[in-house]
């Protein structure tokens, strides 16, 4: 493992997104999501579940009296909002927002205890109980999110009040938890602190932060199991006793380095793997890299939906087993798809490989943004690939699936998580090292980069996801080195032009390698062929047998009742059906719609009962209209499906 | 409604089963199930869940000290065993068994309280709480089952100790519960007392028993809702608050006569409908008949699996909604299919219609007996139509589905329920009235019947379910009147012979009507064509789209991994595949196996990831081997499916 080959995202302020598609999403974050979620955190959204988040901090700070409201991890909602808002300040300076954030940070610091402890649940309900239920009570998870917020705010504004507070909290944790005698030999029941400590370490370079993160990874799942001891000592409940997961739910069923299959709670798994990859990067630890790669394969090659959704079971919000990907009972939590993007970016930092970027792109354009309505005001927790609204209401096994996005959740992890990812999408589009820039996602942007120490201003124009053209131009600066451009996995044919002339370039791990003396005005043009593609699933995926999913470029399509009528299971897409491509700038914020000559099986049924001798089924021609999956459920309640019968 | 047209089963002792198929099952009940379950009730089965059933009666009778063991409805396991054992005494006199039953009945009577109350849960835990949780605590359900046992034992032996005890208990209930001032205006949370009271009324002709049963039906679901009041008064929990079912779980979501859709707990629904049909029969109440007919249609025409399984949701063991019949997450409780048989027989008593008998036959030959292993020692609670063993272990949404039958259950309602049904299968094969005998099921038997007051001994020989020939012979006696013979719904062609000569007869509601002066030696021969049939489901059943189920006569077939290899989802049965029929007397206690030239889709997958552009799928010829569904899971653990892809 040659650490010199590792890459890193550009600083936040060095990338200005100009992209039509993602710029639109960022505007939603700025104009809708962040103000809306601020209202939600302050319990001012009529009809939405009460958050209590700010209120808890006011009580903890002694500004108000009352009882703790919401979940034990309620603080994390504010943390994720702060992180998202920090990215927003970079996207568009906003003194009002910044002032509100400063005031909030002041409130947070006021709630902090003299020894650095900072978690409103225990500050309000009794500090004597703190760190007595690391398994389920999320203190270290909240610490992690608030640390990520502190880091983001520091990078956005240079202000370090929250950063210093979190350093003090890290010290407090380090005094209480660890392998040394007299400390609790525990670790987080919900991962997040690990990756946050590495982000903190990126600023502080304090070995203590790295050591603590590494300890959390290494201690996890060791025998005797801390959570068992903790449970016995403190009488904690063990919710997962009678399930298949047991301690795998917490990613503590075995030592991390011994894991080869992703199991248990999907978000926990993703956050853990981010920490694993981060520490592998910082320390060069080969065994952690092996673990990260093995678990990547377990997730991306054996347990991922075509939308990038992961975690197929509602119970435990968890993985089940290889190739088990039911479309209707799926969980596919928005946060898990977001976590997969986080993990993919970290794998790209370790080694630019198109597989990581392909999955990152798949999740971003599909299973992540499906979590938010086009108006930025409603959210899905669960992202199904097949929905029959009546089943969501009347079949208890599908009641976790909602046919409409919700305003806010009692457990509101997903909405601010989307906001912070969309606000920082620049951190996912490219990574760089000394002599190379790797473009992973074709997102229009202006970039202040450098190659071998020479500054280089670049402009990336992109028609993604609707057109396959992307153009990279050197705006200013001269530098010698490599610009590597990803060839998306969905693309079979492309043309490369350099300064208008057809060019050829070697590829490595799915990236075109352009090694060159770059001069102002240099332009690289890529035309990726983006045909409509009928995708099949690995035959081991039982639920997709005999079906296809329609994709074009990075976008997965679906059928909605709105366009195709109900009883979508009666529709069929014959193997030879040709597609038409329609740009619909007025529809669903502007999408490309696909149509094909399909068939609808007759619903006529002469028999009195449910079963009768099979007869040749009659089918009538029907135009099938496919819309992008991410945009479903924005035009009222109805059926939806991604996988369509082929025969 | 002409009550003179109602029919009734023959007395237990008037039918001697000689049938190969059902005789074999009855021998299992006699030789295995009843002795085995007696051991289970006495906690003497190693490795099985503890029953505590007899022990509870010993404690309640003051013969032993200790705490109540098991569920609040534990008594009903003994009741069902007693009922089954009573039928066993009729099938084969057994002085040892009868002595053991008498001793047990003595124990039960000893536990009875001076005022007639008889429920070990409250006798042991505190009588002051009795009747405080009619919603969930099953006292009236246990009363009902013990009453059925008392009736059966009375008919079997003429002994009335238990019958008198239950009459006293009925008096006690009548003093405590009812519409009169000072009584609790409640009704059973789990139906069963209704039908049992009507069975009791059949002996006592005491209007009090009919009145109480009728009250339970009429009060149920009335507003204000008794269970709400009871819950408020006694602080009872309401488990179904946050579900779709709510009070429909108990069949109390609305007044019974207003119901038009079967909803909520499936067994409760079936037992309720038995009571509804019984009271309609006894009282001639048209509105109850309408309700029974409407709910029959709701179940049999819109919510029933092809195996006769009902109740598609694990949560609440309940119905979901019309045409929602998932094969892999199904519940399909054995007791619910048994309840459907009970209900069907009662509908046949009201009006002989082939639809009722078709469903009864479907459930009996498939979804009922699938609940028991061929050795009579292990039982399914859940009867799925598609099983992947790994999913039963690792997908929490399918963990209720077991790939192997279990020895005994903590909640052991199903095993003794199968035993009592199989032991009394004679009560389902035919019903009669003054001038007519209706043969519903072709089960070999010797019958002491009568027509218009003239005794008539009949013999029925049958090759069912493997051959379609049935022969009815007059052994002795002469009588004039109608013998009506059902033409099964699965049969398109049949030949009728009377005394060896081709004959013709009118049909009504699916029955051949033979009106004749019957003389000794008269023989009616029916040859029902019994081809292998590929069945389709109503197109509204999403889960069966593009698939067929293979049936022959009354038997539904399935594919098992044992015969066909794993990954059954890759198999396909082309539309033109011809079947071969193989009689296998040594296999699975003797079955007819079907084979067809099918195809197996290649599991080869060149792509690294889970999804790739669809290509023409390669299929290789494979002989598909179908075994009767009821016999699955008797040769080790493996995949199974009923519905097979056709295209």
Instruction: Inform me whether the pLDDT recorded for A411 exceeds 80.
Output: no
Task: Please identify every residue of B annotated as catalytic.
Answer: 317, 413
Question: How many of the other CB atoms lie within 10 Å of CB of B46?
Answer: 6
Residue B549: strand, helix, or coil: strand
Q: What is the model's pLDDT at position A361?
A: 98
Output the pLDDT for position A599.
Answer: 97
Residue A50: the pLDDT is: 84
**CB-CB under 8 Å, B396 with A314:** yes
Report pLDDT for A555.
98
| pLDDT of the residue at A409 | 60
Tell the residue number behind the tokens 């919000």, with chain if given.
Answer: A317
Averaged pLDDT score across all residues of chain B:
96
Buried b (16+ CB within 10 A) or exposed e, A25-36: bbebbbebbbeb
Whether the link from the prior residue into B481 is cis, omega within 30° of 0, is: no
Mean pLDDT of chain A: 96
- Number of Cβ within 10 Å of residue A67's Cβ equals 10
Contact by Cβ (8 Å): B429, B36? no
pLDDT of residue B409: 60
The CA distance from A332 to A231, in Å, is: 30
Q: Enumerate residues 6+ apart whose C-beta is below 8 A from B537.
A: A610, A611, B306, B325, B544, B547, B549, B643
Q: Where are the alpha helices (DSSP H) in A205-285?
A: 207-219, 226-234, 266-283
Residues in chain A, overall count: 647
Q: Rounded mean pLDDT of B437-448?
A: 98
In the stretch 355-394 of chain B, residues with CB closer than 8 A to chain A read: 355, 358, 388, 390-391, 393-394
CA pair distance A323, A544, nearest whole angstrom? 10
Contact across the interface for B390 and A607, Cβ inside 8 Å: no
A616 touches chain B (CB under 8 A): yes
Q: Which of A265, A357, A609, A647 to mutate to test the interface with B (most CBs of B within 10 A)?
A: A609
- Residue B601 at interface with chain A, using a CB cutoff of 8 Å: yes
Q: Taking residues A107-132, what's their average pLDDT?
A: 97
Set of chain A residues whose Cβ sits within 8 Å of the Cβ of B611 = 306, 535-538, 549
Are B291 and B256 in contact by the 8 Å Cβ rule? The answer is yes
pLDDT number for residue B438: 98
Radius of gyration of chain B (CA): 25
Is residue A385 a contact partner of residue A309, using CB atoms and an 8 Å limit?
yes
Sign of CA dihedral A292, A296, A297, A302: positive
* Separation between Cα atoms, residue A594 and residue B9, nearest integer Å: 63
Q: Across the strands, what pairs with A267?
A: none
With 70 as the cut, is the pLDDT of residue B407 above it? yes
Tokens of A270: 């993703």
Whole-number Å distance between alpha carbons of A255 and A276: 12
How do residues A552-592 score in pLDDT, each as one tens digit? 999 999 999 999 999 999 999 999 999 999 999 999 999 99
Q: Which of residues 420-449 of B touch A (CB under 8 A)?
A: none
For residues A580 and A595, the answer to whether their CB atoms sit within 8 Å is yes
Q: Please tell me the predicted confidence (pLDDT) of residue A499.
A: 97
What separation in angstroms does the CA of A289 have from each of A178, A263, A276, A363, A427? 23, 18, 7, 22, 21
DSSP 3-state of B636? coil
Residues of chain A numbered 275-304 and touching chain B (CB < 8 Å): 300-302, 304
Distance from CA of A612 to the nearest CA of B (A): 5
pLDDT of residue A368: 98
Which residues in chain A are closer than 8 Å to B616, comparing Cβ atoms?
575
Pairing mode, strands A501-502 and B555-560: unpaired
Question: What value, to the nearest 5°, has the Cα angle with vertex A361 and ends A373 and A524?
Answer: 120
CA distance B295 to B471: 34
Q: From the list B320, B539, B575, which residue is nearest A603 (CB)?
A: B539
What is the average per-residue pLDDT within A426-440? 97
Q: Which run of H or of E encompasses B623?
A: strand B619-628
B9, B426 contact by CB (below 8 A):
yes
pLDDT band, residue B410 (cuts 50/70/90): low
Tokens of B14: 């008037």
Q: What are phi and psi of A231, to 5 degrees?
A: -60, -45
Element (H, E) at A568: none
Tens digit of each residue's pLDDT (9 = 90 or more) over A346-374: 999 999 999 999 999 999 999 999 999 99
Alpha carbon distance A28, A610 (integer Å): 48
Looking at beta carbons, which pairs linking A57-64 to residues 24 or more positions away fall under 8 Å? Answer: A57/A104, A57/A107, A57/A108, A57/A111, A57/A120, A58/A107, A59/A120, A59/A124, A60/A111, A60/A120, A60/A123, A60/A124, A61/A107, A61/A110, A61/A111, A62/A110, A63/A107, A63/A110
Confidence band, pLDDT 50/70/90 cuts, at residue B408: low
Predicted local distance difference test score (pLDDT) of residue A117: 98
Asked if residue B377 has pLDDT above 90, the reply is: no
Cα gap A121→A111, rounded to integer Å: 11
Would the CB atoms of B539 and A609 count as touching at under 8 Å?
Answer: no
Helix (H) or strand (E) holding B420: helix B414-423
For β-strands B436-439 and B479-486, DSSP reports them as: parallel
Cα A93 → chain centroid: 25
The whole-angstrom separation of Cα B205 and Cα B16 is 28
If one compares B641 and A413, the residue with the highest pLDDT of the two is: B641
Nearest to B329 among A329, A535, A608 (CB): A329
pLDDT higher than 90, residue B235: yes
ipTM: 0.95
- N- to C-terminal Cα distance for chain B? 48
Residue B347 and residue B296 in contact, taking contact as beta carbons nearer than 8 Å = yes
CA distance A442 to chain B (A): 21
CB B279 within 8 A of CB B288: yes
Confidence of residue A35 (pLDDT cuts 50, 70, 90): very high
Whole-angstrom Cα distance, residue A326 to residue A315? 14
Distance CA A613, CA A606 (A): 11
Summarize the confidence of residues B92-110 as an average pLDDT.
Answer: 97
Full DSSP string of A498-519? ETTEE----EETTEEEEEEEE-
CB contact under 8 A, A397 and B570: no
Contact B315 A390 (CB under 8 A): no
Residue A594, phi then psi, degrees to nearest 5: -115, 140
Among residues A219, A317, A386, A543, the one annotated as catalytic is A317
Give the integer Cα–Cα distance in Å for B492 and A6: 73
pLDDT of residue B2: 86
**pLDDT at residue A109 in the model:** 98
Token pair, residue A300, equals 């991306």
pTM as predicted: 0.95
- What value does the CA radius of gyration of chain A take, rounded to a whole number of Å? 25
pLDDT at position A48 is 76
Q: Does A5 touch chain B (CB under 8 A)?
A: no
Q: Which residues does residue A515 pair with via DSSP β-bridges, in sequence order?
A: A482
Mean pLDDT of B610-627: 94
Predicted local confidence at residue A408, as pLDDT: 65
Q: Angle, nearest 10°, between helix axes A139-157 and A193-204?
A: 30
Q: What is the pLDDT of residue A338?
A: 98
**What are A605's two structure tokens?**
């049924």
More confident residue, A412 or B636: B636
- Residue B605 contacts A where some CB pair is shorter than 8 Å: yes
3 state DSSP class of B624: strand
Give the largest CA-CA distance in chain B: 79
- Beta bridge pairs of residue A456: A449
Average confidence (pLDDT) over B257-272: 97
pLDDT exceeds 80 at position B129: yes
Known catalytic residue at A584: no
Q: What is the pLDDT of residues B564-587, one digit of tens each?
A: 999 999 999 999 999 999 999 999
The token pair at B138 is 């099953």
Which has the closest alpha carbon to A407: A376, A377, A375? Answer: A377
- Surface of A (315-334) touching B: CB under 8 A: 315-316, 318, 320-321, 323-326, 329
State percent of chain B over pLDDT 70.
99
In this prediction, residue A647 carries a pLDDT of 83
CA distances from B85 to B11, B17, B27 (A): 17, 16, 12
Say yes or no: A234 contacts chain B, CB-CB below 8 A: no
State the average pLDDT over residues B360-376: 97
Chain B: give the shortest CA distance to residue A536, in Å.
5
The Cα B261–Cα B243 span in angstroms is 17
DSSP-based three-state secondary structure for A237: coil
- Cis peptide bond N-terminal to B224, omega within 30: yes
Active site residue A317: yes
Residue in the structure block whose two tokens are 């910044």: A98
Whether the per-residue pLDDT at B411 is higher than 90: the answer is no
Whether the pLDDT of residue A45 is over 90: the answer is no
Summarised one tens digit per residue, pLDDT across range A192-218 is 999 999 999 999 999 999 999 999 999
Q: Which of B538, B541, B141 is nearest to B325 (CA)?
A: B541
C-alpha dist (Å) from residue B119 to A290, B149, B184, B200, B205: 62, 15, 18, 18, 25
pLDDT surpassing 90 at residue A405: yes
Task: Report pLDDT for A561.
Answer: 98
- For residue range B332-342, list pLDDT tens digits in order: 999 999 999 99
Cβ of A397 within 8 Å of Cβ of B313? The answer is yes
Q: State the catalytic residue, choosing from A53, A274, A335, A413.
A: A413
> Rounded distance, CA B421 to CA A309, Å?
47
Tell me the pLDDT band of A1, cut-offs 50, 70 and 90.
Answer: confident
């Amino acid at each position: 493992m040659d650490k010199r080959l590792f890459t890193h995202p550009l600083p936040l302020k060095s990338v200005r997104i100009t992209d039509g598609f993602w710029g639109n999403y960022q505007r939603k974050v700025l104009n809708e999501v962040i103000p809306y979620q601020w209202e939600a955190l302050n319990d001012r959204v009529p009809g939405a579940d009460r958050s209590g988040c700010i209120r808890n901090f006011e009580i903890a700070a002694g500004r108000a009296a009352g009882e703790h409201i919401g979940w034990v991890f309620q603080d994390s909602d504010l943390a994720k909002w702060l992180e998202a808002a920090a990215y927003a300040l970079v996207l568009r300076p906003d003194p009002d927002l910044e002032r509100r954030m400063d005031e909030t940070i002041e409130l947070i610091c006021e709630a902090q205890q003299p020894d650095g402890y900072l978690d409103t649940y225990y500050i309000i309900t009794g500090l004597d109980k703190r760190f007595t239920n690391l398994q389920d009570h999320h203190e270290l998870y909240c610490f992690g999110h608030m640390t990520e917020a502190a880091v983001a705010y520091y990078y956005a504004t240079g202000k370090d009040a929250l950063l210093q507070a979190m350093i003090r909290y890290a010290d407090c944790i380090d005094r209480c938890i660890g392998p040394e005698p007299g400390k609790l030999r525990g670790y987080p029941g919900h991962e997040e602190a690990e990756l946050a400590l590495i982000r903190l370490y990126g600023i502080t370079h304090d070995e203590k932060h790295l050591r603590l993160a590494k300890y959390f990874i290494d201690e996890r799942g060791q025998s005797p199991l801390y959570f068992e001891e903790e449970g016995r000592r403190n009488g904690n409940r063990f919710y997962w006793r009678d399930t298949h997961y047991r301690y795998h739910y917490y990613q503590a069923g075995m030592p991390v380095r011994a894991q080869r299959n992703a199991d248990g709670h999907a978000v926990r798994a993703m956050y853990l793997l981010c920490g694993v990859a981060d520490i592998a990067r910082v320390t060069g630890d080969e065994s952690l890299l092996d673990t990260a790669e093995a678990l990547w394969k377990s997730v991306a090659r054996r347990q991922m939906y075509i939308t990038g959704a992961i975690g197929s079971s509602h119970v435990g919000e968890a993985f089940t087993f290889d190739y088990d990907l039911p479309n209707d009972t799926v969980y596919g939590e928005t946060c898990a798809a977001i976590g997969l993007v986080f993990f993919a970016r970290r794998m790209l930092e370790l080694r630019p490989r198109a597989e990581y970027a392909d999955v990152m792109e798949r999740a971003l354009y599909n299973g992540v943004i499906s979590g938010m309505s086009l108006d930025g005001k409603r959210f899905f927790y669960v992202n199904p690939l097949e929905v029959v609204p009546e089943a969501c209401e009347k079949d208890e096994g599908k009641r976790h699936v909602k046919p409409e996005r919700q305003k806010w959740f009692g457990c509101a992890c997903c909405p601010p998580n989307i906001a912070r990812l969309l606000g920082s999408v620049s951190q996912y589009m490219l990574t760089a090292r000394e002599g190379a820039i790797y473009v992973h996602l074709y997102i229009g942007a202006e970039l202040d980069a450098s190659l071998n120490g020479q500054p280089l201003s670049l402009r990336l124009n992109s028609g993604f996801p609707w057109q396959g053209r992307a153009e990279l131009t050197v705006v200013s600066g001269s530098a010698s080195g490599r610009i590597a451009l990803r060839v998306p996995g969905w693309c079979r044919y492309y043309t490369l032009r350099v300064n208008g002339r057809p060019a050829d370039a070697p590829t490595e791990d799915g990236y075109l390698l352009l090694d060159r003396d770059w001069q102002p005005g240099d332009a690289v043009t890529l035309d990726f062929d983006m045909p409509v593609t009928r995708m099949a699933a690995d035959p081991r995926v039982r639920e997709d047998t005999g079906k296809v999913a329609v994709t074009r470029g990075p976008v997965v399509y679906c059928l909605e009742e709105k366009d195709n009528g109900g009883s979508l299971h009666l529709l069929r897409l014959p193997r030879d059906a040709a597609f038409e491509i329609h740009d619909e700038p007025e529809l669903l914020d502007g999408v490309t719609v696909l149509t094909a000559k399909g068939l609808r099986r007759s619903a006529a049924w002469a028999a009195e009962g449910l079963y009768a001798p099979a007869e040749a089924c009659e089918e009538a021609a029907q135009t099938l209209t496919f819309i992008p999956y991410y945009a479903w459920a924005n035009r009222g309640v109805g059926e939806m499906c991604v996988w369509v019968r082929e025969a």
